[in-house]
């Protein structure tokens, strides 16, 4: 890739909210919105957020070389690894379904996978299955998102004015109704934290152009992810701490402490982003660190 390499460390906070929706259901709990059982605070996994970033890039960069997505819906990962071997004209034993590349071949294929797939050079990947393309540790890492306040999960009864089979219709004497349940969070403001390492970016080929696409994805990804289950979701703020060195000029936790998010005193039950105050202590911003707001 011709774009310039990443030279600065970044730490960031993304604030997003949900209204009357399920931001991230837990399949082991009947797809209920995830919560911290001790505090009642809502949770959204890092995997969920990465999925939305992947989907945004796949949608907006279709056909652009170097911006394919490795972990996408209905993908067969070993086929993608095998394609990289074929693209590099590396021959494997066709009679051995478990044939794997040699060490120097694995290194070449791993570099090829980083070059071709945005999500590999961004988040990393385990590609030691199939023909083997090794493992990649990505420069961009995200935490779980956690709501600022405890969230309330509501259960709603819903009705579908149809049934699936003739047998169901006969049992209902033609009434033809199907009852169901839908669970939502009334309102929740969530914060997730991210970290970007230029040292790891140099290993995967993650560039300044990739970084700009990541910022765009974080701010716009919910606009392309609407569904009946998720209600109204939106990125409200993105705070980016840019260090002027590769190793950084301050600990990330100290930078995150400069952002204070509190519910306004006159708000008993928050139902919108405006019910919160977001205060930034710019006076204590360390030397060598720039704060960028999006």
**Per-residue pLDDT for 283 more than 70?**
yes
**Per-residue pLDDT for 2 more than 50?**
no
DSSP strand pairing (10-21 vs 178-196): antiparallel
> For the residues 219-227, what does the mean pLDDT come to?
95
21-44: per-residue pLDDT in tens?
A: 999 999 999 999 999 999 999 999
- Which residues are 207's β-sheet partners? 5
Residue 32: both structure tokens together: 């209920």
**Per-residue pLDDT for 279 more than 90?**
yes
> For the residues 229-249, what does the mean pLDDT come to?
96
Residue 136: both structure tokens together: 């990649």
Long-range contacts of 199-204 (CB under 8 A, 24+ apart): 199/139, 199/246, 200/137, 200/138, 200/139, 201/5, 201/6, 201/121, 201/139, 202/5, 202/6, 203/136, 203/137, 203/139, 204/114, 204/120, 204/121, 204/122, 204/124, 204/136, 204/138, 204/139
**Per-residue pLDDT for 1 more than 50?**
no
Q: Which of 204, 210, 199, 68 is nearest to 136 (CA)?
A: 204
The rounded mean pLDDT for the chain is: 93
> For the residues 275-285, what does the mean pLDDT come to?
97
100 pLDDT band (50/70/90 cuts)?
Answer: confident
d(CA 136, CA 118): 12
273 pLDDT band (50/70/90 cuts)?
Answer: very high
d(CA 11, CA 218): 14
Contact present, 122 and 211 (Cβ < 8 Å):
no
Task: Please tell me the pTM assigned to this model.
Answer: 0.92
125-164: per-residue pLDDT in tens?
A: 999 988 899 999 999 999 999 999 999 999 998 887 887 8
Label residue 174 exposed, middle or buried (CB < 10 Å: 0-12, 13-18, 19+): exposed
% of residues, the chain, pLDDT over 90: 81
pLDDT at residue 172 in the model: 80
Residue 214 to residues 86, 114, 206, Cα–Cα distance (Å)? 30, 16, 11
pLDDT at residue 3 in the model: 67
> For the residues 2-31, what does the mean pLDDT come to?
93
With a CB cutoff of 8 Å and minimum separation 6, the contacts of 265 are none
Rounded to the nearest 10 degrees, the angle between the axes of helix 77-87 and helix 103-116 is: 110
């Amino acid at each position: 890739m011709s774009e310039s390499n990443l030279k600065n460390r970044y730490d960031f906070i993304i604030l997003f909210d949900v209204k009357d929706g399920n931001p991230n259901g837990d399949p082991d709990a009947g797809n209920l919105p995830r919560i911290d059982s001790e505090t009642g605070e809502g949770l959204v996994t890092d995997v969920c957020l990465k999925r939305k970033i992947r989907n945004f890039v796949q949608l907006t960069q279709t056909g652009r070389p170097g911006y394919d997505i490795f972990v996408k819906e209905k993908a067969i990962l070993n086929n993608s690894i095998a394609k990289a071997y074929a693209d590099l004209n590396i021959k494997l034993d066709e009679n051995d379904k478990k044939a794997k590349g040699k060490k120097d071949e694995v290194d070449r294929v791993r570099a090829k996978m980083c070059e071709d797939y945005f999500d590999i050079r961004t988040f990393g990947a385990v590609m030691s299955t199939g023909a083997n393309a090794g493992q990649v540790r990505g420069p961009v890492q995200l935490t779980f998102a956690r709501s600022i306040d405890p969230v309330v999960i509501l259960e709603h009864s819903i009705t579908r004015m149809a049934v699936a089979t003739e047998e169901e219709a006969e049992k209902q004497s033609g009434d033809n109704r199907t009852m169901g349940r839908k669970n939502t969070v009334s309102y929740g403001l969530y914060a997730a934290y991210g970290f970007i390492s230029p040292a790891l970016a140099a290993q995967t080929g993650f560039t300044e152009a990739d970084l700009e696409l990541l910022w765009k994805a974080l701010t716009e990804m919910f606009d392309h992810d609407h569904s009946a289950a998720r209600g109204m979701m939106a990125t409200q703020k993105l705070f980016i701490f840019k260090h002027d060195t590769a190793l950084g000029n301050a600990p990330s936790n100290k930078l995150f402490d400069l952002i204070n998010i509190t519910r306004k005193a006159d708000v008993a039950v928050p139902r919108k982003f405006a019910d919160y105050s977001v205060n930034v202590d710019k006076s204590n911003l360390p030397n060598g660190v720039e704060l960028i707001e999006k």
